[in-house]
Amino acid sequence: MSIGLHKSEFKNPVIRWVDSRLPLFTMMQKEYGTFPTPRNFNYFWNFGALAMVSLMIMILTGVFLSMNYTAHTGYAFDSVERIMRDVNYGWLLRYVHANGASMFFIVVYIHIWRGMYYGSYKAPRELLWMLGVVIFLLMMATAFMGYVLPWGQMSFWGATVITNLFSAFPVVGSHIVTWLWGGFSVDNPTLNRFFSLHYLLPFVIAGVVFLHIAALHITGSNNPLGIDPKGPQDTIPFHPYYTSKDSVGLVVYFIVFAILVFFMPNYLGHPDNYIPANPMVTPTHIVPEWYFLPYYAILRAVPDKLGGVLLMFGSIALLFVLPWLDGSPVRSMRFRPLARIAFALFTLNFFVLLYVGGKPAEEPYVTISRFATAYYFAYFLVILPLLARLERPLPLPESIARAVLGRGGGPIPMAAAAKPMEKA
C-alpha cells in the first residue's frame, strides 16, 4: 500500500475528510456494519456484547464514585456511607456499580458457558479463548479489590483470606504476602494500592477486550452448529441483523439489572459489610462475593493448605489449556451425545460448588464439595480427553444455510441471504 490518503467511500464531506486521513469510519463499517456473521446465532451470542456494555457501565459509574471516595482506613467506610446518604444520586451510582459487578459476572459466566457448549475454544479460536480467560482473571482481581474498598468487615476479612492464599507457597510465601500488604497485616497501605489497582485494571481489561475482539474478527464467530460458513449464503451482515438482535438482549439485560438495583440492591451483598472493618474480630462466617463461591468451595474442599490453593488456581488454569484437552474436532455439543451429558452435569456441578461455597465448612457440605471438586477436574482432565477418542458424533449438517433453512417449509431463495449486503 502506497503512502497517501485512504480512498474513502463515504459521501458526507466531513466524514470523508476524516476517513481519508484516519479510516476509522471504514474500519467500523467493515467490522460492525458489513462484517459477515453466521446467520444462525441464537440468543447466547448476545452475551459478548452484554459483557462489553457491562464493562462500560462499570467504568462510567466507577469514575464518578471515585470522585467521592476516600482511600484511607479512617475514612473509607464513612465516605461510602456519605455517597449513599449525601451525594446526589450517590446511592444510584453505588448500587449500579455494586450490582453491575454481579451482572458483569452473570453475563461473563453465560458467555463462557456458551463457549464451552458450542466449542468456541477449538481451532482456530484458541488464542481468542485464552484472551477471554485473561479477561476473566483480570475481572476477578478487579472485583476482589473493589470489594475491599468500602472497608467493611467482609472487605477486610475477604482481603485477609485471599492475600493469605499466597502464604501457602513455601519459602517465598510470607514475603509475598508482606509485599502485597505493604505492612504486617491488611491495613492502610493495602487499601491504597487496591484502590489504585482497582482503578487501573478495568482499562487493562478494555485493552485485552480489544485484542479479544481483534482476534474474533480474524477467525470470525463460531455458531450454534459449530461448522464454518462456506459462503455468502451462510452469513448475514452484522448490521442491522445482529445489532438489532443484541438490542433485544440488551433490553432484557437492563430489566434484570433494574430489578436488582431498584428493588433488591443488597440481595447479592453481605450485611456484614455494613459493619466497619475490625482487625481484631473475624466474622463467624466469611464468604466471598457469590461469583467466587465455586472456587472458594474448591479451596475449602482440600484439607491441605497448599493443595487447596493450587487446586483453586488450577481450576482456572485448566481453562487456558481447554482447547488442547478437548481433542474432538466437532465443536458444537449438539452433535456430541455423550459430551453433552457430561457438560450438563458439569454445569449442574458448578452450581453445586457455588452452593456449598456459601455454606459453613462443616458436614455434609465438606463431603459434597469434595465430590463436586473431583467432578470439576475429572470433566477437564479425564472425560473430555477420553470422549475425544471414544465418542461417535452425530453427522454434521452440510452447511449452515442447509441446516437452518431446510428445517421450515422448504428452502428460502438465496436472494434473501444475499440482499441485505450493504454497500461499503
Binding residue ranges: 97, 111, 198, 212, 217
Q: Is 304 a catalytic residue?
A: no
Beta carbons within 10 angstroms of residue 85's beta carbon: 9
Instruction: List CB contacts of 359: < 8 A, sequence separation 6 or more.
Output: 365
Q: How many helices (H) and strands (E) does the chain have?
A: 17, 2
The one among 13, 303, 408, 409 contacting another protein by CB under 8 A: 303
**Binding piece for another protein, criterion CB under 8 A, among 4-12, 161-169, 200-208, 324-332:** 161-169
| Burial class, 423, CB count within 10 angstroms (exposed 0-12 / middle 13-18 / buried 19+) | exposed
Closer Cβ to another protein, 343 or 365, answer by number: 365
Residue 157 interacting with another protein (CB under 8 A)? yes
Verify binding: residue 286, another protein, rule CB under 8 A. Answer: yes
CB of 300 to another protein, least distance (A): 6
Question: Does residue 300 interact with another protein by CB under 8 A?
Answer: yes
Which cell goes with 183? 505492612
Residue 152 main-chain phi, psi, to 5 deg:
-90, -175
Cβ 70 vs Cβ 79: under 8 Å? yes
Residues in binding site for a ubiquinone: 217
Active site residue 369: no
Task: Note if 78 is an active site residue.
Answer: no
Of the candidates 155, 246, 332, 369, the residue annotated as catalytic is 246
Grid cell listed for 421: 449486503
Cβ nearer to another protein, comparing 100 with 357: 357
> Closest separation between CB of residue 288 and another protein, Å?
11
Per DSSP, the residues of 173-191 read HHHHHHHHHTSSSS-HHHH
Considering only 279, 329, 337, 420, the residue that binds another protein (CB under 8 A) is 279
Residue 24, C-beta contacts closer than 8 angstroms, at least 6 positions apart: 18
Catalytic annotation on 422? Answer: no
Q: Residue from 5, 27, 75, 189 that binds another protein (CB under 8 A)?
A: 189
Task: Determine if 176 is a binding residue for another protein (CB under 8 A).
Answer: no
| Residues binding another protein: number (CB under 8 A) | 36
Element (H, E) at 211: helix 188-219
245 catalytic residue (yes or no): yes
- Shortest Å, Cβ 169 to another protein: 12
Smaller CB distance to another protein: residue 279 or 420? 279
Residues 348 to 367: which contact another protein by CB under 8 A? Answer: 361-362
Residue 416 — φ and ψ, nearest 5°? Answer: -60, -35
Active site residue: 217, 239, 305, 359, which one?
217
Cis peptide before 38 (omega within 30 of 0): no
379 closest CA partner among 421, 417, 345, 419: 345
Q: Judged by CB under 8 A, which of 182, 237, 385, 393 binds another protein? A: 182
Q: Which of 167, 221, 273, 399 binds another protein (CB under 8 A)?
A: 167
Q: Angle CA(179)–CA(299)–CA(322) in degrees, nearest 5?
A: 95
361 DSSP 8-state letter: S
Q: Using the rule CB under 8 A, is 211 a contact of another protein?
A: no
**Residue 160 or 349 with smaller CB distance to another protein:** 160
Of 74, 183, 240, 329, the one binding another protein by CB under 8 A: 183
Cα Rg for the chain, rounded, in angstroms?
A: 24
* Cα–Cα nearest to 401, from 31, 29, 36, 30: 36
| Residues designated catalytic | 217, 221, 245-246, 289
Judged by the rule CB under 8 A, the positions of this chain that interact with another protein are 157, 160-161, 163-165, 167-168, 178-187, 189, 193, 279-282, 284-286, 300, 302-306, 308, 361-362
